[in-house]
Structure 1
């Protein structure tokens, strides 16, 4: 469809951004409303997806130690960031919606909203193809009576919370046919959302100016409603550029661009389980539908409230790949392959590859010796993993290797406090986005305390113990050095019950407008222990249904 025809059409819904959230809103709404016209606008194109682009080039990252560069955080093109997504689907928890002292009053959503969004989990799970939305083995007939290791006992520490794995980890490819079938859904690629019309007296916006990325020509899109689903980074940039959207308010919401969050993530210890190593669930479990799932340690709501700790997940992992002291030939093969310029890029997304290599070329001769002494397993194990991970329809989501010593590294993944100084700001040129991001002592101390609680619990129940990699006095600095995010972006357009505290209302409508909505993890006021993709998918389904009901009434 030519751009001229696009600009002459009045759309019922215009969506900016074709990542998982944007695609789900577009497809769900188009299916629910076959008589209504839907337009999906995407900045990237197929041939430019992994090449340099002007948006990422105009980002200033003030903390490259703890925040990945923009090319490692987002993707441009149909499917958005799913182009380098690992497929992990995780649920948020009740504690994430509760006001807690550690959050200093900055939890601006509530349990009622959490319970409402849960009604759309099944619909979201269908898009992710991750099976039934059951995220706790306590509800499983097959695994209810099992545990992560032979002697582990559930209490203040749990081992039953699951991560599930999506089959479509490349949403652009997976849903291309669905888009073609839906005659009322049009997609244009290579266009950037620029300027919204100023709201009328009722808060309605009737048009959006877009710019062709290639020619820099401007065009005007007319629609009855708009959804910004361009990811935290670009959604925030658009809003900072379009402050006229808030003209009907007394002032621009103070939270816009602020309270930016991600996750602290890394490894500071190993766990040594007592008992039969063959009875340890170190890797993936499969449910009745052959969906990959995996256990994680978490801490009860009561414990987190009592100790005033941040929500944290800890899962079993491999030792550090780059350190040949692990003496695993298979791990050494995978580490060396990740170092190869062409092959390494094809095997894993940049952020995951960095988590394996840590950007280091270390002990190559010792790695080669590991490979030689472990032959033929050094080659058989990676070969088997390669087939399962790259050649199967439902791919092996990751690599976790059995330890005959019953000893595994522990990978922590914890929320951050909503910290006002972590923010995104637009420079005076109206184009450059500057990201301010740092870790606080509260974030780091919570990680150290949750590890201590896990260690105490394992010892108390006779299930095992933790073995720290560093001296206690080193832990805080080590955590600050190793933790790097910017991938799980949230917080900058947060949900709240008023414009003094947030940027959107509980229906994701932009304060000060009647027909502009945000569908991005930027609306999440807290970041949980979970990566945001799946839960955002549930919000996307909910928004499509809300917009349907809204216009049935009008």
Structure 2
């Protein structure tokens, strides 16, 4: 059931009260319902559309150039940030759970299998085919330092407010109250039990909601904010003022440092979007193997292919250049060829001289041109995941790299902001280890490609400026990892292996903010899997 703008008191008989109706909160609510538990979900936004500027939420003062703006990373409303989500689903790697000597503060208190057991259920919840996988071939095996087998699946329905609207409305065990902003957590006199949540409605009315168990699933920044607010009344709770709460804020570095040129076009095709036997879409990533990461003391890093824009002569293809010149002369480039992919060499992209040079030097011009035109027509017909194959076998190489946990990368309450909640001062830091790992990972990939005779990298910058290129592109705030990290000991984290806040009996946190490390994977799938695990545990926990 879904209730808009409740003005009457919310019943306090629920087994579980969940803060946030994003992917994690909705998955947990439906899982609890399947276990016979009643769940109340409090959502700051409405049931329709996306609210990115809820004035009841405290503001964000971002003091670093490497963090995305607030309006890009927050979305209140049923479905939460799934309404902004591209749909990419990737599992964590086993090495992500290991304590690594070269990665300070690494290691999870749970085993990979404890999350992996819920991946199929999480994929189904996220709108992915459960059994999807690419059949084995010679391109999927690991070779030396590089693995070709890392998969990313794509949700067919990333807006979860649409995908799960019907079961949520029909459920007798799940009740969602919209336009309800949680502003505080009331603990008992001993500080061991959460008693109630303080809530403000859109009209400004304040009230409390009680339940047997409470779960914060409001996103990393908001989870941290609510605990930091509670810590003002309980200074020694949640690790105390010098503890892990609000620290270790990390995500992923992503961008372009090189292009990749293949000797075998079939290899490139295996790394592009593919349709599985059931019609679902998948893509392979290149990734550093576990042994390579440990041997070279690197963070977990993955790579995937992006098309060059047809407007960028750096693609080196006479066919693409000829198509671009023709489309431009006919005024059709903005409709057919634009926005296919980012173009880091854009200042050169309108140089007809460079395009004509590509045309003159292409020995397979006619066949390549016909192939490119057919691809562009398929794009116009609405194919969602589109790969523009380059007859010259040259592609942009996107990296997606783990950040090392850093206690100085943190958020703190900022009382200067006006609202129902205090603001957050966000000091999101990029460490030199993060940058050096990205550069070194590219160099190892280049060496492996050349040794195997597969291809090579064409770096977009010389050795002396590669670190600067990576730093300039470093930007996150979308993944919000580590702010309420999981640990065995209260001295090292905020929640235990069951996502229960250390030192409390009935207060839990769900979402990527409990991840101790980021890995190379996008966090939505493992965050939902971890929430489903929590939903299984709640009926059995003392």
2:503 paired with 1:512: yes
2:402 paired with 1:415: yes
List aligned pairs for 1:456-471, cutoff 5 A. 456-471=447-462
The one of 465, 483, 489 equivalent to 1:498 is 489
Cα-to-partner distance string for 1:471-514 (whole Å, 9 max, x where unaligned): 11110001111222111110010000111100000100011211
The one of 176, 179, 186 equivalent to 1:197 is 186
* Correspondence for 2:364: none
Q: CA deviation at 1:356?
A: 3.7
Cα-to-partner distance string for 1:62-116 (whole Å, 9 max, x where unaligned): 123x221111112111101110111111011111111112212x02414x43221
Q: CA deviation at 1:159?
A: 0.7
More helix by share: 1
TM-score by length of 2: 0.86
* Correspondence for 2:471: 480
Q: Measure, in 2, the Cα distance between the counterparts of 1:539 and 1:436.
A: 27
* Correspondence for 1:11: 14
Whether the 8 Å contact between 1:153 and 1:463 is mirrored in structure 2 is no
Cα RMSD of the aligned pairs, angstroms, is 3.2
Cα-to-partner distance string for 1:273-300 (whole Å, 9 max, x where unaligned): 1134587324212223222111111121
Q: Secondary structure at the match of 2:228?
A: helix
Q: Secondary structure at the match of 1:306?
A: helix
Any stretches of 5+ residues in structure 1 without a counterpart?
138-142, 345-352, 390-395
2:23 paired with 1:20: yes
Change (3 A) 1:339 1:259: farther
- How many aligned residue pairs are there? 514
Q: CA deviation at 1:449?
A: 1.1
Q: CA deviation at 1:385?
A: 2.4
* Correspondence for 1:84: 84
* Correspondence for 1:432: 423
* Correspondence for 1:385: 379
* Correspondence for 1:348: none
Q: Measure, in 2, the Cα distance between the counterparts of 1:261 and 1:322.
A: 35
Cα-to-partner distance string for 1:342-385 (whole Å, 9 max, x where unaligned): xx9xxxxxxxx9x8478x99679669x98xx9999988745532
TM-score by length of 1: 0.84
2:148 paired with 1:145: no
Whether the 8 Å contact between 2:13 and 2:211 is mirrored in structure 1 is yes
The one of 240, 250, 254 equivalent to 2:228 is 240
* Correspondence for 1:228: 216
Q: Measure, in 2, the Cα distance between the counterparts of 1:379 and 1:464.
A: 26
Q: Which moved more, 1:538-547 or 1:375-384?
A: 375-384
Q: Measure, in 2, the Cα distance between the counterparts of 1:427 and 1:481.
A: 27
Q: Measure, in 2, the Cα distance between the counterparts of 1:493 and 1:126.
A: 27
Cα-to-partner distance string for 1:297-321 (whole Å, 9 max, x where unaligned): 1121111111110000011112368
Q: CA deviation at 1:132?
A: 3.0
2:516 paired with 1:525: yes
Whether the 8 Å contact between 2:485 and 2:494 is mirrored in structure 1 is yes
Q: Secondary structure at the match of 2:513?
A: helix
Q: Secondary structure at the match of 1:304?
A: helix
Q: Secondary structure at the match of 2:491?
A: coil
